[in-house]
Amino acid sequence: MTEANRGNKVISETAELDFGFLIAVSEDRSYQPVAPVATIREAREIATGDLRNCMADLDAGREPMCPARYVVWARRQFGAYAMVAEIEA
């Protein structure tokens, strides 16, 4: 099982996130929200589908923002958000 760092606390792939969001980040650091997520595992599954859709758009002659990586943000204690995982595209 892969684990991710959440501040000082390590969280597992299946740990429930408090208001998690999956964000796509391009090589030029542009970003685009992809989906709310409940776990890091769910984020990985959604990222895989999002990247597949990006490739299909490229094949169709469109110019989508193609991510270099995905990041998962979740709410921490006291309401602040922090990056809890990074997923390579």
pLDDT in tens, the chain (89 residues): 345 554 556 788 999 998 999 999 999 999 999 999 999 999 999 999 999 999 999 999 999 999 999 999 999 888 899 999 999 99
User: Do 18 and 87 meet the contact criterion of CB atoms below 8 Å apart?
Assistant: no
User: Do 34 and 47 meet the contact criterion of CB atoms below 8 Å apart?
Assistant: yes
Beta strands in 13-88 (DSSP E): 20-25, 31-37, 69-75, 81-88
User: Which among 36, 37, 34, 81 has a CA at the least distance from the CA of 53?
Assistant: 34
Q: What is the pLDDT of residue 34?
A: 98
Question: What does pTM read for this prediction?
Answer: 0.86
Q: What is the pLDDT of residue 78?
A: 86
Q: Where are the domains of the chain?
A: 3-88
Q: What is the pLDDT of residue 77?
A: 81
Strand-pairing partners, residue 72, are: 22, 85
Reported as type and span, the H/E element at residue 57 is: helix 40-59
